[in-house]
Amino acid sequence: MRNDDKARNMAKKRNEESGTAAGKGGAKHYEKELARLQVELAHLQSWVVKTGARIVVVFEGRDAAGKGGMIKRITERVSPRVFRVVALPAPTDRQKTQIYMQRYVEQLPAAGEVVVFDRSWYNRPGVERVMGFCGEQEAKRYLALTPHFETYLIESGITLVKYFLTVSEAEQEKRFHQRILDPLRQWKLSPMDIESYRRWWDYSVAYDEMIHMTDTPQSPWWIVPSDDKKRARINCISHLLSVIPYKKVPFKKPVLGKRNKRPKDYVPDQVIRNVVPDVL
């Protein structure tokens, strides 16, 4: 069997499995519940804009745990001007000379914004620590200081919600094989992903200490089991909506009125333009 056929079959099987596991009614139930939650996210958006709220949502977790898919479902039906996703690349030479938090502070929300971090300042005690980009003592000191930084954010009026997505060894391996075989997913597979697969237990030790030292009453970690992606999405979005005290903002229906009259001297442009050809 060709690799692309294998990829399609694997994708179909995964969709069927996750659809069944998503709850009673399978895939249809999932789509219905997701649509309902996305309506609530739209209500949350209106409330954030009206009240000038500032919200930060942090997503951390294992590679291939489903962070990207989770963030996509949260943001796909709302405005990118309100729900802003931050996924920072490796620091530049200049940024390497700054204090570590500096480039993350620059991304914090202004009034009326929700910033969703696809990985965050927890890169330091996670991937950077495991891969040797920072020393053990440096990582431990960072972990000791991070709760103070988050307390400052909260006391400044920012709502901070932190999620950690977990995935089993077997499920992560399945997803990595999917990425290897499926051309639509190969871009997701980086050298760091391969290292995270090989260093599973190194990451386990690092993440356990990270959560232990930064799980505080003011800024707790919320763990999201994500072997079943669809169930994880429904659970996580429901929880996010439950921890933010938003209210439905009444929508004032605008009156469209009438179009203005066509000018008597208006002549349509007769120049032949380049038109995209039909392919269907």
pLDDT of residue 155: 98
What's the average pLDDT block by block, 10 residues per block, for the chain (280 residues)? 49 48 75 98 98 98 96 98 97 95 98 98 96 95 98 98 98 96 93 93 97 98 98 98 97 95 89 86
pLDDT of residue 272: 75
- Which residue's entry shows tokens 């294992």? 62
Chain centre distance of CA 125: 19
Cβ contact 30:38 at 8 Å: no
Calpha distance 220→147 (Å, rounded) = 10
- Spell out the residues 6+ positions from residue 50 whose beta carbon is closer than 8 angstroms to its own: 249
Give residue 254's identity as a one-letter amino acid code: P
In percent, the amount of the chain with pLDDT more than 70 equals 91
pLDDT of residue 110: 98
Calpha distance 91→189 (Å, rounded) = 20
Cβ contact 116:48 at 8 Å: no
191-198 long-range contacts (CB < 8 A, ≥24 apart) are: 192/63, 192/127, 192/131, 193/63, 193/64, 195/131, 196/62, 196/63, 196/127, 196/130, 197/63, 197/172, 197/173
- Spell out the residues 6+ positions from residue 55 whose beta carbon is closer than 8 angstroms to its own: 48, 109, 113, 114, 115, 158, 159, 161, 244
Q: What is the pLDDT of residues 8-38, one digit of tens each?
A: 454 455 445 444 455 556 899 999 999 999 9
Domains, the chain, ordered by start: 3-243 (3.40.50.300)
Calpha distance 66→178 (Å, rounded) = 13
